[in-house]
Structure 1
């Protein structure tokens, strides 16, 4: 390589040929050290500073193939140019399979010198490019890992901040006397909590692009149950969910819809208290996700808040539209069942 001294280790039991190769390589600007046996050669490689190894096939007491395998068992071994006087193709194939980057047949005359020098330069350049690629990949992995840690920290801080805002809204709701204002603030608190739980799911996720939807809905339901208990309502909320992961933006929409539908059931299903609200998430064979919120309460007759004329209804319609779906109310003998069928995202 122009402008750069290449340190060559030549392993061959032939002392005369070893000195000859040293002179040949010195004329071409290489620094060459000769090792007359496998152990000496391996020790010199272990000591470091070797850019490329020229390894002879016949080492007297053993084969260069064994040395080649030992070299390539090391971490980041130098490239090896394998040389032999034999013209048998099987030796070349075996050497290349064992990890040699090039193969040169020893001949008398200038051809051997030219071929050996070309093989050395190509081997060192290939090793340099390989190391550069490995460094770039390592730097990219480290940058990605740092970005993941930073993003997780951002989601952690956002989740904590939203949780604080949610608590403040809950405290504000408890401090006002007007029932309508209390209800509005409680619904706002539930919406904030749904988004906070999403960010909490993100900073515990290995991939922030997707969310474990069943775990996320579990957190949303737990938050709503806590709000029900704090407000003195008694309906219990039960979740049954298939394990499924979805893209983060889709999880936001599904979480908001679930929050609005459960909040609506808490408010209107059981005027006399008690009862159960069931939240279901099913992944069908065709890939559709089916979200249901059902109760055994007084049912919906087509009038009142369930018609979706308020803010909650507008939120549900907007979120459902972003999922290419809409909420349907399934006829039932008792209570109300809201159903949202979510098709797989378009490719």
Structure 2
């Protein structure tokens, strides 16, 4: 049996291992789900960045083709100055707008920055664009220019521009042809893919200035991301994905970018890390709550187990103390019983000695025989008490052991060796209780004594066989001799010995018989 302390240690170890297993397994799954959520967000931003790159490329290519047509028209009409005195340029640009699928704004600017032709009607005085960065770049020699986000002076809305330099016949600066583009396409790209308002799609110039961006307001047109890793450490990379706080809103984001080949434009698609992990965070809190409940239940069950183990330990201690007390009491009882058996045996020996001394006073053989028979009976009873005294048999008698000691004593009493009588014993180790042991011992003693006294005449030797065996739930005792046997009813059937045997057989719930089978056969059959 496992000690309670060891069981408590096993309980603690099992609880700790189970808790570690629950936390470890759930932590591993949460880590895998965390990485999966980030990977999905990165894949989504990469797809958006790729779509934006394609959209921006087509937009600029289309604008490039339109600007080629405008420059060709200007040259056909003799240059920008030739168009400044008429409204033909505006009419041409208005018609170009009607033929275009996009509602973009087209302009022709002269070398002084004045609008020569505009695709929409102008109200009031002519507007000058000489201070715009794109105009200054063309006057400095730039052939094409992708301008940053501005608030249009004609439409008063946020636009970004793509312009081309118009040279005269000598190749000198003659003016600028420009397409002003609305960034509405960014919202069209993002709407089918991302529902969160925190998603930012952007176009950025070579120096990090903003060209177009979702959610851009008029006061943010001069902002940029030139200080970020995108335009510093990663400037040489054509595409990539990283995590940083680079969009100027103070939010850590997953950012995917791609750079256009023909134009100095970088497109980005970004989503907040918190948005990407929103579902995972909800699952994390649920998992934490469920894990906490499981651990609390485990602690509660462990506490109950420990408490029960303490109660069991206390009960075992009390039981051990009770067993020790009972053991001591039983030992005292056994010692007392052994002392009683010892004293009974001694008293019987004293009584037998007194009878022997008394028998010496008589010369009558019959009287002496009566005293001898009484001594034999006392000896058989004393032998039982001696066995109980010398061996802790629990108040039972082993017939094999008892007969093995009784027969030598009776043989010595009746001079078996001198008379040439051999006594054999064939006994199984049958155990009987003390209440039946005494009458059974007296009956067997009477049978053996009768064999010694009556079976053999003077000078006749022979053999006596004593057997004890268990047959079908009963015990059979046989005393067989090879003497002269019995004829009919024994003469001494009414003798004291036979009366005692009959009385003992009835007391034991059995029956006995005497038959002549090559000698006298005594059979005693009793319940096992």
Q: TM-score, normalised by structure 2?
A: 0.43
| Alignment partner, residue 339 of structure 1 | 523
1:204 Cα deviation after fit: 2.6
Alignment correspondent of 1:54: none
Q: Counterpart in 2 of 1:317?
A: 502
**Paired residue secondary structure (1:299):** coil
What does residue 240 of structure 1 align with?
426
Say whether the 8 Å CA contact 2:4–2:309 is kept in structure 1. Answer: no
CA separation of 1:136/1:183 partners in 2, compared to 1, >3 Å: closer, same or farther? same
* 2:349 counterpart residue number: 163
The answer on 1:265 being equivalent to 2:199 is no
Aligned equivalents of 2:427, 2:410: Cα separation in 1: 16
Secondary structure of the corresponding residue to residue 525 of structure 2 = strand
Quote the residue 2:78 is aligned against: none
Shift of 1:74: 8.0
Aligned residue in 2 for 1:198? 384
Counterparts of residues 88-167 of structure 1 (less than 5 Å) = 88=22, 115=300, 121-167=307-353
**In the TM superposition, what are the counterparts of 1:1-347 in structure 2 within 5 Å?**
79-80=8-9, 82=12, 84=16, 85-86=19-20, 88=22, 115=300, 121-229=307-415, 235-302=421-488, 304-307=490-493, 309-332=494-517, 334-344=518-528
| Counterpart Cα distance in 2 of 1:267 and 1:342 | 25
Q: How far 1:121 sits from its partner (Å)?
A: 4.7
Structure number with greater Rg is: 2
Deviation at residue 289 of structure 1 after TM alignment: 2.1
Say which is worse superposed, 191-200 or 253-262, in terms of deviation: 253-262
Aligned residues: 255
**Contact in 2 for aligned 1:205/1:211 (Cα 8 Å):** no
Let me know the Cα RMSD of the aligned residues.
3.4
Structure 2 distance, partners of 1:166, 1:88, is 84
Any unmatched runs of 5+ in structure 1?
A: 1-71, 90-105
Q: Distance in 2 between matches of 1:328 and 1:269?
A: 16
Distance in structure 2 (CA, Å) of the matches to 1:146 and 1:249: 22
Distance (whole Å) between structure 2 residues aligned to residue 305 and residue 233 of structure 1? 24
Distance of 1:146 and 1:195 partners within structure 2: 24
